[in-house]
Amino acid sequence: MSARPFTILIVSPDRSTLRRLSRFVEAFGYDVRQAADGAQALAAADAAHPDFLLLDASSGEPADLALCRQIRKLASHVYTYSLMLTADAEVARLTEALEAGFDDFLAQPVVFGELLSRLRAGARVIEFERRLAEQTGLDPVTGLPTRAALLTRLHLRLEDKKGDGGWLAILDLDYFSRVHTRHGRPASEQVLRAMADLVRGRCGNDTHLAALGDDRVAVLATTGPTEAAVAWADQTLATVGGHQFSVGGQPLKITASCGLTSLHPGDTVETVLARAEKATQLAKGSGRGCVATSQEVDRETDQWAAMAAKGELFATTLARDVMMPCALFLHQDESIDQAHALMELTRLTSIPVVDNDGKLVGVANFDKLDAARNKVKPRGANSVKLVRHVMSTDVPKFDEQTPLSELMEYFTGESAPLAVVVRDRRPRGIVHCQGLAALNERLTADHFHTTAPRHSTSEDLLVPDLAIAE
Mean predicted confidence (pLDDT) in 369-386: 72
pLDDT digits (tens, 9 = 90+) for 192-223: 999 999 999 999 888 999 999 889 999 999 88
The span from the CA of 183 to the CA of 197, in Å, is: 21
Question: Which CATH architecture group holds 319-469?
Answer: Roll (3.10)
Cis bond upstream, residue 140 (ω within 30): no
The span from the CA of 452 to the CA of 285, in Å, is: 39
Specify the length of the chain in residues: 470
Helix or strand or coil: residue 82? strand
Please say if the pLDDT value at position 116 is more than 90. Answer: yes
pLDDT digits (tens, 9 = 90+) for 81-90: 999 888 766 6
Cis bond upstream, residue 109 (ω within 30): yes
pLDDT digits (tens, 9 = 90+) for 41-100: 999 998 888 999 999 987 666 557 788 888 888 877 788 999 988 876 666 667 877 887
CATH of the domain spanning 7-136: 3.40.50.2300
Domain ranges of the chain: 7-136, 147-307, 319-469
Please say if the pLDDT value at position 376 is more than 70. Answer: no
CATH of the domain spanning 147-307: 3.30.70.270
pTM of the model: 0.73
**Residue 1 burial by Cβ neighbours in a 10 Å radius (0-12, 13-18, 19+):** exposed
Q: How many helices (H) and strands (E) does the chain have?
A: 18, 19
pLDDT digits (tens, 9 = 90+) for 306-330: 888 877 888 899 999 999 998 899 9
**Residue 376 burial by Cβ neighbours in a 10 Å radius (0-12, 13-18, 19+):** exposed
Measured in Å, how far apart are the chain's first and last C-alpha atoms? 46
